[in-house]
Amino acid sequence: MTKEELMRKAIALSIENVKRDGGPFGAVIAKDGEIVATGVNRVTDSCDPTAHAEVSAIRAAAEKLKTFDLSGYEIYSSCEPCPMCLGAIYWARLDKLYFANTKTDAKDIGFDDSFIYEELELKLEDRALKAETLLRNEAIVAFEDWMKKDNKTEY
């Protein structure tokens, strides 16, 4: 399939999902023009705030391929990914992202991520979500143990 056909599939998934009362987002993961996995927004359906189309597609691809490293694959999203999904795309090591609707288009229909982008620029103490470091000296043991391991799988 061409990249346009793969994007049309992501768009079709988003349109179909709206008809099934889901969010207007779809995603496709492909390699060499072949679809490996797809995902749609299942936030309200699954009561899972992380069940965005891109994350769902990444989970499906990783499970199918039995790997967390999706190097060599591309993702086609019906909309520019939110910060969470963009982070997941980076962590999955996908080679390329294609998207159709923009984050401004999403904002215009009530899916506004600008607050998160703005929060990330603030100092920890200035963010709306209050946070504090707690028991770091106890938690650091896991990191020290990790660094000592010779047989760890780095990711």
CA angle 44, 49, 53 (to 5 degrees): 80
Query: Could you give phi then psi for residue 109, rounded to 5 degrees?
Result: -110, 15
Three-state SS at 79? strand
Residue 115: its pLDDT value, please?
94
Residue 153 has pLDDT above 90, yes or no: no
**What Rg, from alpha-carbon coordinates, does the chain have?**
18
Q: Are strands 26-31 and 34-40 parallel, antiparallel or unpaired?
A: antiparallel
> Which of 54, 74, 80, 154 is flagged as catalytic?
54
Stated pTM of the model = 0.91
pLDDT in tens, 105-144: 999 999 999 999 999 999 999 999 999 899 999 999 999 9
Domains of the chain: 3-129 (3.40.140.10)
Q: How high does pLDDT run on average in the chain?
A: 96
- Lay out the sheet containing 34-40: strands in order across: 34-40, 26-31, 74-79, 96-101
Q: Does residue 54 have an active-site annotation?
A: yes
In angstroms, the CA 53 to CA 10 distance is 9
Q: Which residue, among 60, 108, 61, has the nearest Cα to 80 in the 3D structure?
A: 108
